[in-house]
Amino acid sequence: MTNRTLAHSYLKKAMARLDVLDLLFQKQAYSDVVREAQETVELALKGMLRFVGIEPPKIHDVGGLLIEHREKFPPEIALSVEKLAQISKRLRKERELAFYGDIDFIPTEEYTEEDAKEALVEARYVVELAQKLII
């Protein structure tokens, strides 16, 4: 299996998750939208890195690697690297809280429709850029 084959696989998984995000949003499962958006973004970004020959580490936020290897991406993608990194970092911070919550943070009560919309928009943006690169 090549990096490019795995990149296509990651993109396919990210695209499938976009459909799931829409369903979760319709069900008003806003914390789940945020969590799944993070995983969608992570898969898409790792696919992009693999596509240009970078082996991503097994961490959830790979935004720093995108910035570090900006020159390996086509200009259209390279211009968006900071935004991609910001999205990755923001959603990474929400990952555990959105899923598990905490004694004083109940995910189903804390996350709002606006939080979910923002995560959806970000996930779609990242996947669209990944499609431009990988497909």
Which domain does 9 fall in, by range? 3-134
User: For the domain that residue 71 is a member of, what is the CATH number?
Assistant: 1.20.120.330
Q: What is the mean pLDDT of residues 18-45?
A: 98
Q: Which residue has the higher pLDDT, 65 or 1?
A: 65
Q: Is the pLDDT of residue 33 over 70?
A: yes
pLDDT band at 1 (very low <50, low <70, confident <90, very high): low
DSSP for the chain reads --HHHHHHHHHHHHHHHHHHHHHHHHTT-HHHHHHHHHHHHHHHHHHHHHHTT----SSS--HHHHHHTGGGS-HHHHTTHHHHHHHHHHHHHHHHHHHH-BTTB-HHHH--HHHHHHHHHHHHHHHHHHHHHH-
Per the prediction, the chain carries an average pLDDT of 97
| Structure-token match 């695209």, residue found | 15
pLDDT digits (tens, 9 = 90+) for 86-111: 999 999 999 999 999 999 999 999 99
Task: Quote the number of domains for the chain.
Answer: 1
Position 3 scores a pLDDT of 87
